Amino acid sequence: SAVGRGPEVPFRSEAYSISAIARGKELRLTLSALDPAAGPAAQDLVFRFGMSGSFRLSPAAELPRHAHLRFLTRESPPRALCFVDPRRFGSWRLGDAWQPERGPCVVSEYQAFRENVLKNLDDRAFDKAICEVLLNQKYFNGIGNYLRAEILYRLKIPPFEKARTVLEALKEQEQERRKKDPSLTLSKKVKLRQENPDLLELCHTVPMEVIMAEKQLLDPEHSDYYSTVKNWLQCYLVPGMSSLRDRSGRTIWFQVGAWGCCLELGSPQTTPPRGHWPTPRRKSPQLKADPEAPSPKVTPRALKQRRRAAAKPPKSEEREEEEEEQADGPRKGRARGRSKVAAAPALPEVPQSVRRSRRTSARRGKGDTGSA
């Protein structure tokens, strides 16, 4: 299309076929002329779908919106196989090469995927939280945002548990299983894994569940398509679940109950990173150090009183937030000031009004405590 951002496809043929193969989050299309002798050489295209990319087959006269690349049929009336991407996060490039930084596919290359993860646990990438590492396509090629939520939910793994801690436990379990009974047949091993799947196994089986559901419906415009996917979800976007943003800005969905124990234990590996869990506002460091120390700056309490007296217009939201953050400081200073004034020796001949005035001036930080 005129607004498509992808490169032009240098392939022209009156009769050709399209075949496809997927690997993780990438899809490779191969355009082949039906008559190789008379037609052009085969052309490969590798697609990335982003968040909204998909393929759709529709009448050529009724192209869907955002159809950025179209393959027309020879039938009458013709139809078009369209690459549709409303958000334009998807892309395609010429050639058959997969992206080099992507690891083995969690679906089609499961054994290679598993070995790639377990043999590279020393990589610094696994210092991060497990929810963030699951989006690292170098090791988890094919796992996206909704899949990581479903996988962690099924195993009741806290999202911000350190990835290496979780995966090293799998490595140890696998070694112990081999030592205990090395004579287990393949069918028995498969049965045991189906009954007690680990994290890496769910990275394979959970996407397969989605693929099988989509094969039954075939068409994303099917009336039951989205209701089927919605009913399949157990955690992602499900009412009653909670969500936080990880360090990369992606939203992770999880079960609140599973988090309760982790927060009580206070483990640094399972606690969300700073800024991702609701915490009380911090007090001002100046007031914390010495609330009664003289300062060239006017205190927030004095500013408030001046504002009321002079009927000045309200301050900006940013300044109001600063005053709210410092609210605990002046209150503590006032309490200390009050106790000191009360502890000072009071002379019988001093009237009550004078002592009250002294407390007020001390509290406000104005004038001399000896003046009335």
Residues 181 and 84 in one domain: no
**pTM of this prediction?**
0.66
Does residue 245 share a domain with residue 142?
Answer: yes
Would residue 227 count as lying in a domain?
yes
Instruction: Using alpha carbons, select from 79, 74, 63 the residue that is nearest to residue 4.
Output: 63
Domain count along the chain: 2
Which letter, b or e, does each residue of 145-164 get, where b requires 16 or more Cβ atoms within 10 Å of its Cβ? bbbbbbbbbeeebbbbbbbb
Pick the closest to residue 166 from 270, 90, 44 (CA basis): 270
236 or 324, higher pLDDT: 236
60 falls in which pLDDT band (50, 70, 90)? Answer: very high
In the chain, what's the furthest Cα-to-Cα distance? 119
Identify whether 132 is part of a domain. yes
- Please check whether residues 227 and 130 belong to one and the same domain: yes
Q: Are 26 and 47 in contact (CB under 8 A)?
A: yes
For residues 118 and 67, state if they share a domain: no
Do 242 and 189 share a structural domain?
Answer: yes
Are 36 and 162 members of one domain?
Answer: no
Pair 127, 74 in one domain:
no
Read off the pLDDT of residues 319-369 as tens digits, 9 standing for 90 and up. Answer: 333 333 333 333 444 444 443 434 433 434 445 554 555 555 555 554 444
Same domain, residue pair 128 and 240: yes
Determine, yes or no, domain membership for 160: yes
pLDDT at 228: 82
* 145-159 residue pLDDT tens: 999 999 999 999 999
Flag whether 175 is in a domain.
yes
pLDDT at 76 over 70: yes
pLDDT of 55 reads 93
- The reply to whether 170 falls in a domain is yes
Alpha-carbon radius of gyration of the chain = 33
Question: Does residue 371 lie in a domain region?
Answer: no
CATH of the domain at 42: 3.20.190.10
Residue ending a domain, choose from 229, 254, 279:
254
What confidence category does residue 180 fall into, taking pLDDT thresholds of 50, 70 and 90? Answer: low
Residues contacting residue 334 through CB under 8 Å, at least 6 positions apart = 363
Residues 215 and 130 in one domain: yes
Q: Is 103 contained in some domain?
A: no
Domain identity same for 120 and 245: yes
Whether residue 243 sits in one domain with residue 115:
yes
Residue 151 lies in domain = 110-254
89 and 153 assigned to the same domain? no
CATH of the domain at 154: 1.10.8.50
Cα–Cα distance between 291 and 337 in angstroms, integer?
A: 10
